[in-house]
Amino acid sequence: MQVEVRLSIIIPCYNAVATLGEQLAALADQQWDRPWEVIVADNGSRDDSRRVAASFLARMPNLRIIDASARRGGAFARNEGARHARGTALAFVDADDVVAPGWVAAIGHALDRHPFVASRFDIERLNRHSWLSRIRRNPQADGLQQVSYPPYLSHAGGCGLAIERALHEQVGGFDETLLRLMDTDYCFRVQLQCHVALAFVPEALVYVRYRDTLRGMLRQTRERAIANVALARRYGGDRYAHRRSLSPWLAYTRRWMRQLLRATRIRRREQLAEWLRMNAWLIGLLQASWQYRCPPLAI
């Protein structure tokens, strides 16, 4: 008789040879009194990620490695992992982060109380040697994240999300057309379509790793600005698609003027990095304005 698996932990993986082993080692040390499994969904890695994952098979009999290379993207890899999962609930973690001791039990027990849950983040442990980490804020240190545009709902990072499988299937999984903020969109759709709240679980801690190069941080910031505009249009409807007022452009211009004034006060490299990060955000808003034929949004 096959024992029912309660929780399937899915790790989307693409060229993660440098970090995947640390995540799997953390999961290998987890204890929980109910059946659970780990699925590495390889999204077509060209490095030795699969070999690293395979090296844990003897240590983790609950580990499986699946081919998720038919389409590139984290959303597809997560959905493919969910399709292969045996659990009645699903949890998603990333290959470059690390779950803290007790995470599996904490997230598993939380799912007995809430059908949709999110973890707490720590951004210091894995980024302490990067000077860039000093300009980053922790978006999930003590609660959920919130957007400043419709639908004004809570959301959370994809690393550490967990959900009852039936709800994941009800919304059709992650939107595979999105390259950024597919986790934010997922949180919105679960809440709007399934009428359930997203619950924060402070006992379930995830150590999050940030990009450690200035170029990578700036590219990510610009792409996130574009993605936020895309979601604002998706959930805000025609109010963003057809606005022709000059006021958004004036507000946007004032933001650039403030940026120019801040440039005169830069004294340290951290201040320069933060100034460049805001520039990347504003450039992303302008790119999105051109791409979607709308004024730059105040987000």
- Predicted confidence (pLDDT) at residue 275 exceeds the cutoff of 70: yes
Residue tagged 């292969």 (tokens): 84
Mean pLDDT of 22-29: 98
Q: Where are the alpha helices (DSSP H) in the chain?
A: 20-28, 49-54, 74-84, 103-111, 165-170, 182-194, 214-236, 238-241, 247-263, 269-292
d(CA 137, CA 215): 18
Q: Is the pTM of this model over 0.85?
A: yes
Q: Describe the chain by its helix, strand, coil percentages, rounded to 5.
A: 40, 15, 40
- Predicted confidence (pLDDT) at residue 243 exceeds the cutoff of 70: no
Question: What confidence tens digit (pLDDT) does each residue in 119-133 have?
Answer: 999 999 999 877 877
Mean pLDDT of 232-237: 85
- Predicted confidence (pLDDT) at residue 246 exceeds the cutoff of 70: no
d(CA 119, CA 155): 11
Mean pLDDT of 24-37: 97
Question: What confidence tens digit (pLDDT) does each residue in 92-151 have?
Answer: 999 999 999 999 999 999 999 999 999 999 999 999 877 877 788 899 999 999 998 889
